[in-house]
Amino acid sequence: MPAPHHFITGAELDADRLDLLLHRAAALKEAPQSSRALEGRTVALIFQKPSTRTRTSFESGVFELGGHPMILRPDEMQLTRGESVKDTALVLSRHSAVIGLRTGDEDQLNGLAEHASVPVVNMLSPGHHPCQAIADLLTLKEALGDLKGRTITYVGDGNNVARSLAVVGEIAGLKVRIAAPSGYQITDTPAELFEDPVEAVKGADAIYTDVWVSMSDDESSAAARREALHDYAITDELLDHANDGAFALHCLPAHPGEEITESVLYGDRQRIWDQAENRRHAQKALLELLVSPRAEDG
């Protein structure tokens, strides 16, 4: 059996594997029924947090690859009645080719990866959202071609989506900038950090944003977050400061009127809806890569 090869932060990919993944994703988008990489196999998908895109793109993607997506909600699992992450990992590894987890607890994710004998995929944790990042890169590649030396500016809350964009973007040779107000910036990142959003988007080929209140944020901080992030919205005016032809990205769900204007979200200066579709194609390529035998495993 091949050794497990998890996908937790995105840093597990080297430049060649990421390039291969993005090429496969484009090919699978062209011919969605062309791969049976999961024929007769089951993928366990545990959602401890709400999801629209991740759930539907994984569920449809696993089906298109010939596999069965086994969706598991916390209230259906003994995990919420005291069973350990270790035992959950051991049992799910006996039934599934891959285990996906969306969680608010980084320790649970790492524990699952430590004890599972099959690949574990991070479907969003408080710190990371690498499945989003591979779809983001596919979307950028469709628009820009070669990503090396291109610039994308993330504007808004320095969160899981910003962190993963920076991690995976760096592997692809993309220049990632993050503009966030003091107190909302991430520091553990290869991205170039800015406080002024206008300065940060100068020379950018695309501008990216995400919600101002994430699922792992305390709802009681929501009003303060909205106030602090008020000047970090994607607007037509902000796009005007970026390169000609620059477009907006958003991982969604969106809150039009907060982090992005309605005119940008539904206008012709965005690739947001392609980006949402690309979740499926990129994740199918990821699943192919994770279940394929690797030469170094002998």
Report the chain's terminal Cα–Cα distance, integer Å.
Answer: 9
Helix (H) and strand (E) counts in the chain? 11, 9
Whole-angstrom distance, CA of residue 161 vs CA of residue 96: 27
Q: 192 or 274: whose CB is closer to ligand CP?
A: 274
**CA neighbor of 161 nearest in space, from 203, 123, 120, 192:** 123
Whether 192 and 37 have beta carbons less than 8 Å apart is answered as no
211 scored as a contact of ligand NVA (CB under 6 A): yes
Please identify the residue of the shown chain whose CB is closest to the bound ligand CP. 54
52 scored as a contact of ligand CP (CB under 6 A): yes
276 scored as a contact of ligand NVA (CB under 6 A): no
Which are the catalytic amino acids?
102, 129, 132, 210, 251, 279
Segment contacting ligand CP by CB under 6 A, of 46-54, 70-78, 196-204, 262-270: 46-54
Segment contacting ligand NVA by CB under 6 A, of 79-87, 148-156, 214-222, 254-262: 214-222
93 scored as a contact of ligand NVA (CB under 6 A): no
Q: 253 or 257: whose CB is closer to ligand CP?
A: 253
Phi and psi at residue 264, to the nearest 5°: -75, -45
155 scored as a contact of ligand NVA (CB under 6 A): no
251 scored as a contact of ligand NVA (CB under 6 A): yes
Q: Please, which residues have CB within 8 angstroms of residue 96's CB and are 6 or more apart in sequence?
A: 41, 42, 43, 44, 70, 118
54 scored as a contact of ligand CP (CB under 6 A): yes
13 scored as a contact of ligand NVA (CB under 6 A): no
Segment contacting ligand CP by CB under 6 A, of 25-33, 196-204, 221-229, 248-256: 248-256
- From ligand NVA, ligand CP, none, interface partner of 52 (C-beta below 5 to 8 A by class): ligand CP
Segment contacting ligand CP by CB under 6 A, of 51-59, 241-249, 263-271, 280-288: 51-59
Residue 290, number of CB atoms within 10 A of its CB:
22
51 scored as a contact of ligand CP (CB under 6 A): yes
Give long-range contacts, CB 8 A cutoff, 24+ apart: 85-88. Answer: 85/111, 85/112, 85/115, 86/111, 86/114, 86/115, 88/112
42 scored as a contact of ligand NVA (CB under 6 A): no
Q: 18 or 124: whose CB is closer to ligand NVA?
A: 124
By CB under 6 A, the count of residues binding ligand NVA is 10
88 scored as a contact of ligand CP (CB under 6 A): no
251 scored as a contact of ligand CP (CB under 6 A): yes
Whole-angstrom distance, CA of residue 35 vs CA of residue 15: 23
- From ligand NVA, ligand CP, none, interface partner of 13 (C-beta below 5 to 8 A by class): none
Whether 109 and 129 have beta carbons less than 8 Å apart is answered as no
214 scored as a contact of ligand NVA (CB under 6 A): yes
- Segments in the chain forming alpha helices (H): 15-30, 53-64, 85-95, 106-115, 130-144, 160-172, 197-201, 222-228, 236-240, 262-265, 272-291
Whole-angstrom distance, CA of residue 104 vs CA of residue 86: 17
Cα 86 versus chain centre, distance: 25
255 scored as a contact of ligand NVA (CB under 6 A): no
- Sites of contact with ligand NVA (CB under 6 A): 124, 159-161, 210-211, 214-216, 251
- Sites of contact with ligand CP (CB under 6 A): 51-54, 124, 132, 251-253
